[in-house]
């Protein structure tokens, strides 16, 4: 019985987190709360809207809020049902939308909130994240007397790249799952 409870607890950790809006008109699936991101790279924002959502009951804007600044990411987020991905969540039909926001290189490192604000109900969903400083540009070392090229910088992250910080939550969940299973069998 204890093994089953530990296994179920570990599996629950591995499930992708969704944050529900107060009005039940949308869920936020990315970013995950407390996830790390890096300036100069992509901050993926993924949200699902209910099938009964219209501009009469949801007008969504998304902002990045820091200690001393607010950066609008999009003032009128897409809530259409025609050009989005339809899927079922818990038996209900929802429509998934995605916004890939390029974090500016000069973004100050620190804690931030990604705020999904509903202008109709005047409610919001705030997701805490941490942003690290942009990596320094790399300059190749060339022998003296050779022709030099302009410094290169790293390319923006691909959200489908397994090494990307957007997937860090899923990697941590897998690690926690493995650790929980090992502990469960050690204690028996």
Q: What would the pLDDT profile of 103-139 be if each residue is shown by its tens digit?
A: 999 999 999 999 999 999 999 999 999 999 998 887 7
Element housing 168 (H / E): helix 168-186
Global pTM value: 0.65
Give how many domains the chain has, as a whole number.
Answer: 1
- pLDDT tens-place string over residues 78-87: 998 876 688 8
Using the predicted structure, report yes or no on whether residue 49 has a pLDDT greater than 80.
yes
DSSP secondary structure letters along 105-166: TTPPSEEEEEEEEETTTTEEEEEEEEEEPPPPPB-----TTS-----B-PPPPPTT-TTSGG
Joined together, the tokens standing for residue 187 give 């204690």
Instruction: Tell me which residue range forms the domain holding 47.
Output: 18-135+155-160
Give the whole-angstrom CA distance, residue 101 versus residue 121.
25
Q: Quick check: is 181 in a domain?
A: no
Burial 25-37 (b: 16+ CB within 10 A, else e): bbbbbbbbeebeb
Q: Quick check: is 93 in a domain?
A: yes
Q: Quick check: is 4 in a domain?
A: no
Of the CA atoms within 13 Å of residue 59, those in its CB half-sphere come to 8
Using the predicted structure, report yes or no on whether residue 150 has a pLDDT greater than 60.
no
CATH number at residue 96: 2.60.40.10
- Yes or no: say if 100 and 49 are a contact pair by the CB < 8 Å rule: no
Element housing 65 (H / E): strand 60-65
């Amino acid at each position: 019985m204890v093994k089953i409870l530990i296994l179920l607890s570990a599996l629950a950790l591995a499930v992708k987190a969704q944050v529900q809006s107060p009005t039940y008109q949308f869920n936020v699936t990315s970013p995950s709360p407390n996830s790390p991101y890096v300036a100069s790279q992509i901050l993926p924002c993924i949200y699902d809207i209910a099938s009964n959502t219209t501009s009469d009951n949801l007008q969504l804007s998304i902002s990045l809020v820091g200690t001393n600044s607010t950066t609008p990411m999009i003032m009128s987020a897409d809530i259409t049902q025609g050009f989005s991905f339809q899927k079922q969540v818990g038996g209900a039909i929802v429509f998934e939308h995605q916004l890939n926001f390029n974090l500016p290189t000069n973004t100050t490192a620190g804690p931030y909130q990604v705020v999904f604000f509903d202008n109709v109900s005047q409610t919001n969903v705030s997701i805490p994240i941490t942003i690290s400083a942009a990596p320094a540009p790399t300059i190749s070392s060339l022998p003296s007397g050779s022709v030099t090229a302009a410094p290169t910088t790293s390319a923006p992250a691909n959200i489908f790249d397994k090494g990307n910080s957007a997937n860090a939550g899923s990697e941590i969940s897998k690690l926690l799952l493995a650790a929980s299973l090992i502990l469960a069998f050690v204690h028996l």
